[in-house]
Structure 1
């Protein structure tokens, strides 16, 4: 008999958790582990409302402690979620409205075999993001060091002590957009954190 795929399930509510466990336990090729055996899992399945900062932090902790692929089921999926998800080892992203037992199981099987499942419209967003990163990496150093108007606005408000939510409100953007802007700055310029990014902008005289 082939080795069964070991899966750990975590959900925001007991009903969702029970439903996912029921779907997966019905598959002979899958075995569901208790939550305290997460380190033994081949795949993690997580069901939450939306990919907010708390969920993202939890995914990053999971990736650091037990680097297993993640199947993520969300009530709401925003365009930029696919970028954050990819950074957190999420290989299958499913809307709850379409997350049938068969689709969740298919996501688990794909994750275990090194594949993934993403909403078709979001794959294009991910590819565009990769292309932008490639252009940034191949651009002359002088161009890579330039900050866009939006990046300057974000860094200026960070320097004033505003948090992500306050910056998003001030600039009329979503919190996810602000986080992606900051991630773009730090990854492109190899900056460690907020103080480092603000110091960089100050040295360049743009804030």
Structure 2
């Protein structure tokens, strides 16, 4: 059964820079191992930018979500039209299906709660994250987010960026907040400085 992409969720997350309220990302967890499934859901529930819509062993309900955290078995059995964070089963054989929807691949035992949350937050806004750099997806920012960074560096405001890129101000604020998270930045200015330091923008 294909998973549906989320629409708008209730406003709960405060944008620390702009003062605007944005909705948390809805997460679906599908993993056959009870302990792992509960642990994943528990870690994600502690982050105010995320809300766990469901956590099931198999056959996910038809609920809208923004990102799915799944096992190899779940990925093989279910069609996802949202970004996927894959918990890789090192004993599984054969190719990973739906590879284009996998935005991050994680494996135990080195994984930390912080890496899990960072990977899910990045995938929810369609940023791909390597396992070796799960807390910093900036090296693989898509063109839209790079353009937002360039415009911020040029001194543009949220309103002017919204007009230039033809996105709502709400969307631009969400992109900026997620950029701050992925760049481990304290503010918009810090995000721009960090992006320049990493050579993402000039």
Tell me which interval the TM-score lies in, with the shorter structure as reference length: 0.3 to 0.5
Normalising by structure 2, we get a TM-score of 0.46
**Bigger radius of gyration:** 1
- Greater relative contact order: 1 or 2 (C-alpha under 8 angstroms, separation 6 or more)? 2
The answer to which structure has the higher helix fraction is 1
